[in-house]
Chains A and B, each alone.
Chain A
Amino acid sequence: MSAPATDGRLASSPRLARLPGLGGAIDGTFLTLVIGAAILWFAPVGMGRYGTYVLSLWLVMSIAVMGLNLTLGYAGLKSLAQAAFMGLGAYTTALLTTKAGVSWYAAFALSGLLTFAVGIVLGFPALRVKAHYLAFVTLAFSTLIWLILRNEQWLTGGVFGISNINRPEFFGIKLFGALEFHRFVVAVTFILAVALWWLIRSPWGRAFTALRENPIRAASLGIDTRTYTLLAFAIGSAYAGFAGALYAPLVEFIDPSPFSLSQSFFLLLMVVAGGAGYLLGPFVGALLGVVLPEWLRFAGSLYLIIFAAIVMLLLIACPQGVSGLMERGWAKLTGKRGDAR
């Protein structure tokens, strides 16, 4: 009599403990974003121009990786054009601000809109057929964009690129300094990350995940799969556009090389390294892909090989990436604590 009762209590107590724990983990994501933004706001003090620049670059790449994470990690689509979308955003912003004299904010919005629209146009025919055709269409698009950036000298400056891209103002405060612009990047990244956090918790986000897990079952549950996959891809692409719009004034000079096909591959690897389907994964992935090579300068181009090899090992051992590893470790830790109790 008493044995099942204790069994029941034993079984229910971890579940009780886990439920608020799970709720805490979701809020924890938001809290981490807030704390992370606060730390990054003050972090570069005393780091010098270059250190600040690397931190800003990390955040800008994180935005692009976040978008790709939505496409790949939540909706399960392979996009091989994230760097090309980023290039589209960067060139749009650079051209509009330097040649047409449009304000950065308008250019930023237009970059996002344009990449969103191109995402719809590319995704519509590809997703009509089959999800993995998107990979091939984006592959083609990536190469086309790179060709245009390189060949249309009158517009893009060809291999010489566009230089003297101005940084924006914020209500009369000039953001020309590395620290001021870094804080601006922190704010924009924070807003975009929270928007994504909200999106993924909303019924929309649930629908995206349902698509990744089982598209046919999702369809049978009444989810309009084509619209949702298309939207996930277009929003993911718009994030690349936003990232590009920040990248151009950050670096103040753009040329076609950072927007090539291999860069798109690299962004995909960052998503996987950080943990596809984890909201904070992209920050980890971009840290490994962007910041670490800056610190490990002595490794030179060998770093790319090391990074790719690490990603392959991660894929074999733990396809959920570093975030998955951390979650596993955390579960083990808390599990042990439960045993001790």
Chain B
Amino acid sequence: MAEFIAYLIAGIATGAIYALAAIGFTLVWQTSQTINFAQGEFVMLPAVLVLLAIKLFGAPVWLGALIGIAAFILIFGVGFKLAVVDPMIRHGVLPLAIATMALSIIMKEGAKDGFSAEAQNFPSFVPTQTIEVFGAAISLQHLAIIACAFAVIGLLQWFVGGTRLGRQMQATAQNPTVARILGIPVERMVLLTFVINAALAVVASVLISPIYLAKFSNGEVIGLFAFIAAIVGGFNQVRGALVGGLLVGVVDSLAAAYVSSSYRLAVPLVLLVVIILLKPEGLMGRREERRV
């Protein structure tokens, strides 16, 4: 039982990371029909940029973090939207999706060649201790991840539902034409979702990197699980991405413990296929109508 609780907490913690990535993924999909195959690399890169800034400028950790994070949001929030999505979206969803695959290769190989092929330690802002709860050893880092991720997701929900700007963004996602008629600056709202996506990726990166270490190949698994989370939860729902992320994280953690550690990746994949077969619109999703 104690063991089970420990695995559960670890699963929720990694699940929260997947949820952050999946929420950004669905936001960007909703407002601009961008299927971002580089989402995993988006979570990998901020930590690498922070370490790079510390190394290059010899800066203290807080300054390096500031530089790295600002650079990431500028390049992969604003720059991604303006330089990749805008010129390509007129060709359709498919070329853009393929362009994000190219981007993922560039980011991964760039991190490998420009930074390091080895995993690097990433500073943690929480002590790496464990505490005893009902006889289960629970890592403080996991608890901190859960707390931070949920705080950020709560903040996002409040922003989207409770502020004027957030509701404008929601309107843009639901129906850009009507939103434009109502005088909402649609382009700026779309840009805002890309910035939010980059910011969520930064949060996920800073939270997970002390545990996984900063490595160029980290994005592969995180990206894969973020997709699965987004689809399992419902491709067009932020709430769905949250549920999907947590579910995938817990399933992955329990599968690693109780099924087989070499096939842990396979269990969430099976979950994905089952969901596609039984409830293709996802657990929380609505059906999308078809347009001619």
Q: Which residues of A contact B (CB under 8 A)?
A: 72, 76, 78, 125-126, 128-130, 132-133, 135-137, 139-140, 143-144, 147, 150-151, 214, 216-217, 261-262, 265-266, 268-269, 272, 301-302, 304-305, 308-309, 311-312, 315-316, 319
User: In residues 87-143 of chain B, which contact A (Cβ within 8 Å)?
Assistant: 87-88, 91, 93-99, 101-106, 108-110, 112-113
Given contacts A147-B263, A216-B290, A301-B112, whether A265 and B37 have CB atoms under 8 Å apart is: yes
Q: Which of B94, B95, B113 contacts A302 (CB 8 A)?
A: B113
Say whether A140 contacts B269, CB under 8 Å: yes
Once the chains are docked, how many angstroms separate the CA of A265 from the CA of B97? 11
Asked if B94 and A144 make an inter-chain contact with CB atoms under 8 angstroms apart, the answer reads no
Measured CA separation A96–B269 after assembly (Å)? 29
Q: What count of chain B residues pass the 8 Å CB interface test?
A: 41
Bound Cα distance from A240 to B99, whole angstroms: 22
Q: What residues of A have a CB within 8 angstroms of the CB of B213 in the complex?
A: none
> In whole Å, how far is B232's beta carbon from the nearest beta carbon of chain A?
10
Specify the chain A residue showing the minimal Cβ separation from B84: A312
Interface string of B76-92 (1 = CB under 8 A from A): 00000000100110010
The reply to whether A268 and B101 contact each other, CB–CB distance below 8 Å, is yes
**What residues of chain B lie closer than 8 Å to A139, measured between beta carbons?**
224, 227
Number of A-B contacts (CB under 8 A): 108
User: Quick check: B262 and A151 within 8 Å, CB to CB?
Assistant: yes
Contacting residues, chain A, for B277 (C-beta < 8 A): 125
Contact A136 B276 (CB under 8 A): yes
Set of chain B residues within 8 Å of A311, measured between Cβ atoms: 98-99, 102
Q: Are B98 and A268 in touch, CB under 8 angstroms?
A: yes
Partner of B106 from the list A125, A135, A308, A316 (CB cut-off 8 Å) is A308
Q: List 15 A-B residue pairs with CB atoms under 8 Å apart, sorted by A's residue number.
A: A72-B94, A125-B273, A126-B276, A139-B224, A143-B224, A147-B262, A147-B263, A147-B265, A261-B224, A269-B105, A301-B109, A301-B112, A301-B113, A302-B113, A308-B106
Query: Contact flags (1/0) for B196-226 with A, using CB distance below 8 Å?
Result: 0000000000000000000000001000100
Given A137-B272, A315-B88, A315-B102: 10 more A-B contacts, CB < 8 Å? A140-B273, A144-B269, A151-B263, A272-B95, A301-B109, A304-B109, A312-B102, A315-B91, A315-B96, A316-B87
Interface contact A265-B276, CB-CB below 8 Å: no
Q: Are A265 and B104 in contact (CB under 8 A)?
A: yes
Binding site for A on B (CB under 8 A): 35, 37, 84, 87-88, 91, 93-99, 101-106, 108-110, 112-113, 220, 224, 227-228, 231, 262-263, 265-266, 269, 272-273, 276-277, 280, 290, 292
The secondary structure that dominates the A interface is: helix
Give A22 to B96 CA distance when docked, in angstroms.
Answer: 30
Chain B residues contacting A266 (CB-CB under 8 Å) are 105
Q: A272-B98, A319-B91 are in contact. Are A304 and B105 (CB under 8 A)?
A: yes
How far is the CB of A69 from the nearest CB of chain B, in Å? 13
- Chain A: minimal CB distance from B113 (Å): 6
- In the complex, A266 Cα to B227 Cα: how many Å? 19
Contacting residue for A309 out of B88, B106, B227, CB 8 A: B106
Residues B292 and A133 in contact, CB atoms below 8 Å apart: no
Q: Chain A residues near B231: list those with CB within 8 A.
A: 133, 136
Q: How far is the CB of B273 from chain A (nearest CB, A)?
A: 6
Which residue of chain A lies nearest to B87 when distances are taken between CB atoms in the complex? A316
